[in-house]
């Protein structure tokens, strides 16, 4: 799929401004480099995969990431940033991939304004900008119940930031627009993992308040997602006679929509309760439109952290729920099985059910980080996730019902560093 004209225009504009900045900076460019990484191991007490990779055999793929960043100061107003990382591929479950998380040009005409053009991070969460840099936070793993909600964490486009310094603290308003090409993953019991290439247009605004050692954030995001192969999404499955007196959901004859719309509201707070005590909490409501088969969710977490010397132990509780018609549709499709149906019909009902991103889970986690130096940490965490009716975070085994009403215990050990 060719990029939309607006994004293509932004790309040409970014190139033009980059050349202008380079000409302005002809007298010299200042470079700085940095690196980061996490080597993480996770193991559960269940044989099926949880969060793509975690099972009772253990894995390094869930949390391991290595990256580097180059910043170039082109002039007093212009700069450029490129950040690349190696992590498990987002297009399949086998490969590792090298991708650019950041690749943008910045223009700061004064201390109050900042304009960025290129590939950058969606400022949705408290840790959006640094979510790959594990050394910057004490959690062994940022709660999936919150950090797994976004249709995309990166975008290519334009962002504008405006800052103020009123008496209440440091206030920043971010407004952004762009596109992201991603692969939406679903796991089906008969076909295994399936990756659908999609293109998402993202528009949003985020208001952030920082005062002393505390941060508050409110975000509003609007996304429109289309398939990159030009096909439509199924929006409604009709139940009826498939012919010959056979009654089931007509998967091939489903109603269609060319795009899926998500409106996401996020709230976050990282507060200093007392010296060495912190309360961190985030909440998101993801409202999906134009389909009965989407992730209409609400999720969030609350955590308390206490710094004791080099240790920072914490306890957290996270919850993620789907709601509305998508839950009922997924259950109806999953229950539409009959020994009198041909195998292909039973499989089509299961596959359609598995493709709907339904979540019903909550997680209690206890962990700690230990600062080896100011630039490295060791982390350990035990987390217990309760799966309710079902959850798309679990790859249900072939030939069985979806995993439901089970508990998954996960032990994680990480080493994170920056340099």
- With 0.85 as the threshold, say if the pTM is over it: yes
176: domain CATH number is 2.40.160.10
* Distance, CA of 151 to CA of 365 (rounded, Å): 25
CB 221 within 8 A of CB 124: yes
Closest CA to 349 of 249, 246, 255, 256: 249
Identify any residues that bridge with 407 across adjacent strands, giving them in sequence order. Answer: 386
CA Rg value for the chain: 23
| pLDDT for the residue 305 | 98
Chain centre to alpha carbon of residue 95: 19
As for how many domains the chain has, the answer is: 1
Joined together, the tokens standing for residue 214 give 């505390």
Sequence-separated contacts (24+) of 67-70 with Cβ below 8 Å: 67/35, 67/36, 67/37, 67/101, 67/132, 67/133, 68/33, 68/34, 68/35, 68/36, 69/33, 69/34, 69/35, 69/36, 69/102, 70/31, 70/32, 70/33
The secondary structure of residue 105, as a DSSP letter, is E
DSSP-assigned letters across all residues of 13-82: HHHHHHHHHHHHTTT--EEEEEEEEEEEEEEESSSS-BTTTBSTT-BSTTT-EEEEEEEEE-SSSEEEEE
> Tens-digit pLDDT profile for the chain (419 aa)?
444 444 444 444 444 444 444 454 445 799 999 999 999 999 999 999 999 999 999 999 999 999 999 999 999 999 999 999 999 999 999 999 999 999 999 999 999 999 999 999 999 999 999 999 999 999 999 999 999 887 678 999 999 999 999 999 999 999 999 999 999 999 999 999 999 999 999 999 999 999 999 999 999 999 999 999 999 999 999 999 888 888 999 999 999 999 999 999 999 999 999 999 999 999 999 999 999 998 899 999 999 999 999 999 999 999 999 999 999 999 999 999 999 899 999 999 999 999 999 999 999 999 999 999 999 999 999 999 999 999 999 999 999 999 999 999 999 999 999 99
| Percentages (nearest 5) of helix, strand, coil residues in the chain | 10, 55, 30
| pLDDT for the residue 152 | 74
Range of the domain at 189: 5-418
| pLDDT for the residue 12 | 44
216: three-class secondary structure by DSSP: strand
């Amino acid at each position: 799929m060719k990029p939309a004209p607006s994004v293509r225009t932004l790309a040409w504009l970014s190139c033009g401004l980059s050349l202008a900045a380079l000409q302005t900076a002809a007298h010299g460019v200042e470079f700085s480099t940095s690196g980061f990484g996490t080597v993480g191991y996770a193991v559960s007490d269940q044989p099926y995969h949880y969060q793509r990779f975690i099972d009772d055999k253990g894995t390094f793929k869930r949390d391991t990431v290595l990256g580097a960043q180059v910043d170039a100061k082109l002039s007093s107003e212009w700069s450029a940033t490129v950040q690349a990382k190696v992590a498990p591929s987002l297009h399949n479950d086998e490969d590792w991939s090298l991708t650019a998380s950041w690749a943008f040009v910045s223009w700061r005409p004064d201390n109050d304004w900042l304009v960025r053009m290129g590939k950058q991070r969606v400022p949705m969460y408290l840790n959006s900008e640094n979510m790959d840099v594990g050394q910057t936070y004490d959690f062994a793993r940022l709660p999936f119940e919150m950090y797994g909600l976004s249709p995309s964490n990166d975008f290519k486009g334009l962002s504008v930031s405006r800052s103020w310094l009123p008496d209440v603290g440091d206030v920043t308003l971010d407004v952004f627009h762009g596109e992201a090409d991603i692969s939406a993953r679903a796991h089906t019991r008969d076909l295994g993992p399936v990756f659908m290439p999609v293109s998402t247009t993202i528009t949003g605004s985020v208001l952030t308040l920082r005062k002393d050692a505390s941060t508050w954030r409110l975000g509003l995001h609007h996304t429109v997602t289309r398939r990159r192969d030009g096909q439509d999404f199924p929006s409604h499955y009709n139940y009826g006679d498939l012919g010959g007196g056979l009654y089931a959901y007509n998967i091939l004859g489903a109603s269609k929509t060319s795009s899926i719309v998500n409106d996401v509201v996020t709230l976050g707070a990282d507060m200093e309760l007392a010296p060495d005590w912190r309360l961190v909490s985030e909440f998101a409501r993801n409202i999906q439109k134009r389909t009965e088969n989407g992730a209409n969710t609400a999720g969030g977490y609350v955590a308390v952290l206490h710094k004791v010397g080099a240790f920072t132990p914490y306890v957290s509780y996270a919850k993620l729920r789907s709601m509305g018609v998508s839950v009922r549709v997924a259950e109806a499709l999953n229950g539409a099985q009959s020994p009198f149906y041909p195998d292909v019909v039973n499989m089509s009902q299961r596959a359609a059910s598995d493709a709907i991103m339904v979540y019903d889970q909550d997680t209690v986690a206890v962990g700690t980080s230990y600062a080896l130096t100011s630039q490295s940490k060791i982390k350990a965490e035990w987390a217990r996730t309760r799966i309710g009716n079902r959850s798309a975070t679990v790859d249900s085994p072939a030939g069985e019902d979806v995993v439901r009403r089970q508990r998954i215990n996960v032990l994680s050990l990480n080493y994170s560093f920056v340099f």
